[in-house]
Amino acid sequence: MTKIQNKTTDNCLAIAFYGIDTSPKTAEAFFRVAVELIGQLRYDPHELGVTGKGFSGKIGQYDRIASKLHKSGFAAVNAFDLRSNNSNTTPLGPERMVEASFSAGYDYGGYAIISIPADKLTKDITFAVSEKIAQAVRPSYGIGYVRDSKLGPVWYAIGICQGPARTGAAYQEGLDITHWCFDGREREVYRKGLLRDVYPWNFLTVPQLTRFVDGIPLEQWIRRSRMRGTLRQLTDEVTLWEVEETAIPKARKTLHEAGVIFDWRKGEH
């Protein structure tokens, strides 16, 4: 399996799924997967915020809000944010947290995102977590990547730029991140087969796999060369495309030229 984690404690692996099933059962299933992972990593639930009828959306003490949530159920839950820290780590720092963010997003497809300190991961845990989340939320598209905790791995997935981005490449990246939120994610361009970018892990469904590259469907294009990565079935509906870091630039260039990668500058939305 392609290595996508970095053992530097400032890095987190984020797994983000878009275009999810929006039923209350989905919110509950993703919540349970996140809590199960927290326990598996021997972390303690720390903070929770819930948006929906009877909830303010404000982040507060986990035990109090979780107790209320379990009593009322998930029928009225529109979104939640869960944070957990290692009980042996004081004070709580972003690089030591597990974060889970969920939004039903009825008007723009919704998302389910989890961010995990990279040094806590094994290949088996990473694949198992991805599989469980995909089964729970039934996404249309997803990505997996490593990002410095100070740059907001979860915010990046949503499409919000965190950190300095005033000049040069950082400024351009900031524009790309923001436009993914407003022109990409909220307009659900992945349903047309567009990818946000090429990442170490790419969770693809039929619209992306059948998008044409060099005259053939993306799935066939990947399978024609080992240098383009490997495909592995994650669920009945989701295929995992793993790409080595060294192969990403070339794949990105080809897919961008083929119009498979979303480019807000072209007005593809």
Q: What is the 3-state secondary structure (H, E, C) of the chain?
A: CCCCCCCCCCEEEEEEEECCCCCHHHHHHHHHHHHHHHHHCCCEEEEEEEEECCEECCCEEHHHHHHHHHHHCCCCEEEEEEEEECCCCCCCCHHHEEEEEEECCCCCCCEEEEEEEHHHCCHHHHHHHHHHHHHHHCCCEEEEEEEEHHHCHHHHHHCCCCCCCCCHHHHHHHHHHHHHHHHHHCCCHHHHCCECCCCCEEEECHHHHCCEECCEEHHHHHHCCHHHCEEEECCCCCEEEECCHHHHHHHHHHHHHCCCECCHHHCCC
> How does pLDDT run across 186-205, given as a tens digit for each residue?
999 999 999 999 999 999 99
What are the domain boundaries of the chain? Answer: 11-158, 172-266
pLDDT at 241 exceeding the cut of 60: yes
Give the per-residue pLDDT at 105. Answer: 82
pLDDT at 90 exceeding the cut of 50: no
CATH number 1.10.3470 is the correct assignment for the domain at 11-158: no
> How does pLDDT run across 132-177, given as a tens digit for each residue?
999 999 999 999 999 999 899 999 999 999 876 667 788 888 999 9
